[in-house]
Chain A
Amino acid sequence: MDPALFAQHLLNGVMLGVIYALVAVGFTLFFGVLDVIKFSHGDVVMLGAFTALATSIAASAAGLSSPVILAAMLLAAIVGMALVGMLMARYLVLPLRNAPTLNVLLVTLMAGTVIREGVRLFYPQGSNPKPFPRLLPTGAFEFGAFTLRHDSIVLLVLGVGAIVFVHLLIVRTRLGLAIRAVAQDPETASAMGIPFRGTVLATFAIGSALAALAGVVNGLYYSEVSFNMGLLLGAIGFSAAVIGGLGNVYGAILGGFVFAALQTIGAVALPFASAYKDVFAFGVVILLMAWKPGGLLAERSAERV
């Protein structure tokens, strides 16, 4: 393949990988602390994107400049979704702590549907895809056939920065240690003085804030959001978390990039139409699961959160 074209696909794959990793880390964090799958996570991604969209409309009506609007929408989405995540943990997930896991699955699946349909009904003309504002610099570096858009650089820095932040948070801070301890054994953690509920709420806030960021990055990258974007993103994020080894943060990040690589390969390197890229990617996920049921990083479980 032409090196310039290859670089272009690689860049696109990395961009997708960052978005998927942001979503997958949430799944894996929630599973880590509570052993539950929160199926509304994809819809929280969507709600984050719509929160950002609404904020940007309000902010541009107020006549603010692009960087300020961008900061405002990121802040609104991240803080808003962190709150939504905490509320869901507090009122939907924690009360079911001693119920069968299936109940949590069902409840969060329903909550996701409520969020999705709520946006469709109550956001003005919510059924239609919405144009997402282009707030990032529009120029590009040209290297022959390879174009590096300025906005892609900003988005990559943002996404990778968030992933590094979460890594440092988990490895270096007291909260991170509390999250790791609760993930392994909530009872022991509380015997050591670690508050169980507070740690769970913080974890849900972090995971949901990452989902919001994923939604905003996704919107800025594709310049479009829609009420049902969370369905596919949720399925991909969940797959990525499972491929990597559920409960392992680094597995989720790896899984996000693996899935993006599969999609990119499916779209460009295989002899069928690029519309089949998801069929290809999910098909390979099935094979991966058959080959490594515990996920790619399951053997090295030392970093499990």
Chain B
Amino acid sequence: MTHLLEVSGLSVRFGGVRALDGLDLHLDEGETLGLIGPNGSGKTTSFNTITGFVLPAGGTVRFAGEDITAQPPRHVARRGIARTFQRLRLLTELSVFDNLMVGQHLTLDHGIWANLLGRSRLRGAIARQTDEMRTLLRHFSPTLPDRLHEPVSALTMIDRRRVEVCRALARSPRLLLLDEPSAGMTPDETAELMRDLQNVKAARPSLAVILIEHDMAVIERVSARCVVLDYGRKIADGSYAEVTRDPAVRRAYLGEEADA
């Protein structure tokens, strides 16, 4: 059986640094995978390579049976992979609505003339879209839907994070890549975001998610399976309990002397 995402032998070099060194990774529909590892172990680089922002030196990425290795980001997006960024990359000067519309860019098209001239004919479609956006936002916060037309720059950090996740979800991707969504948030906020995410997952059972996370407690709660990276290599792959018992992981994470 083929997996939804199959990464094999993926290598990336930045000058002399092997950012990824023969990474193998696979993921099935509906699965949630935690991607963990120390700083600089290649987690974000693997996202960047899968989504086409970074060109690999070797290896392949297959998605839904098709080879998408080294395809430009917009083609990867078109195939149904959406992502968030570790440092938020919302279009802060645009409204929440516009950001979500950008997220839906690929699925929208009512024709340029209809938009320019006959707005009335589109009113129904626009109202429906607005409703969908409000529903999506409501998953994450009861107050966000009311702020649909405010610029993102007026939102708090956690709300921006939520909007970015919503933007990624807006075009109904098959695979969602979350790059450390808890960065810069309090543990309570993180817990809240994870709960909201699980609600979304419950509503979209076939959605596959890869989550980069530093906080092991978060990983334990949301993902059944973990992959641990160190120096661009996969050093463990298994359930949370398995990988945390793995001596290589303990060395990478806790230092040589740690044993318990």
Contact = CB atoms under 8 A, between A and B. Distances in A.
A181 B102 contact: yes
A194 B171 CA distance: 13
A304 B89 CA distance: 17
A168 B113 CA distance: 10
B85 A188 contact: yes
Given A180-B91, A190-B72, A304-B93, A174 B53 contact: no
A181 B126 CA distance: 19
B109 interface: yes
A168 B103 CA distance: 20
Nearest to B51: A191
B93 A177 contact: no
A304 B153 CA distance: 13
Interface stretch (B9-17, B73-81, B239-247): B73-81
A165 B116 contact: yes
A192 interface: yes
A185 B112 CA distance: 23
B254 interface: no
B238 interface: no
Contacts of B53: 187, 191
> Per DSSP, are chain A's interface residues mostly helix, strand or loop, or mixed?
helix
A193 B116 contact: no
B93 A174 contact: no
A173 B111 CA distance: 8
A184 interface: yes
A177 B77 contact: no
B93 A175 contact: no
Contacts of B157: none
B24 interface: no
Interface residues of B, number: 31
Given A190-B74, A192-B102, A193-B77, A173 B91 contact: no
Contact of A302 (B73, B93, B102): B93
B21 to A, nearest CB: 25
A304 B151 CA distance: 12
Interface in A213-232: none
B91 A184 contact: yes
Given A189-B102, A191-B53, A194-B105, A181 B83 contact: no
Contact of B109 (A174, A189, A196): A174
**B73, B98, B108, B109: residue with the most chain A Cβ atoms closer than 10 Å:** B73
B103 A173 contact: no
Contact of B89 (A187, A196, A301): A187
Contact of B112 (A175, A180, A181, A187): A175
Contacts, number: 81
Contact of B116 (A169, A185, A195, A301): A169
Contact of A177 (B74, B92, B98, B171): B98
B91 A174 contact: no
A58 to B, nearest CB: 30
A174 B116 contact: no
B93 A191 contact: no
A184 B98 CA distance: 12
A149 to B, nearest CB: 30
Given A180-B91, A301-B93, A302-B93, A192 B112 contact: no
A178 interface: yes
Given A180-B98, A181-B91, A184-B94, A191 B83 contact: yes
B217 interface: no
Contacts of A192: 74, 77, 102-103, 105-106, 167
A263 to B, nearest CB: 32
A75 to B, nearest CB: 18
A116 B39 CA distance: 56
Contact of A188 (B91, B101, B106, B108): B91
Contacts of A168: 115-116
Interface string B132-153: 0000000000000000000101
A178 B115 CA distance: 14
B120 to A, nearest CB: 13
Contacts of B119: 172
B95 to A, nearest CB: 8
Contact of B73 (A181, A184, A191): A191
A174 B112 contact: yes
A193 B85 contact: no
**A173, A174, A175: residue with the most chain B Cβ atoms closer than 10 Å:** A174
A174 B85 contact: no
B161 to A, nearest CB: 15
Contact of B102 (A169, A177, A195, A304): A177
A185 B91 contact: yes
Interface of B: 51, 53, 72-74, 77-78, 83, 85, 89-94, 98, 101-103, 105-106, 108-109, 112, 115-116, 119, 151, 153, 167, 171
Interface of A: 165, 168-169, 172-175, 177-178, 180-181, 184-185, 187-196, 301-302, 304
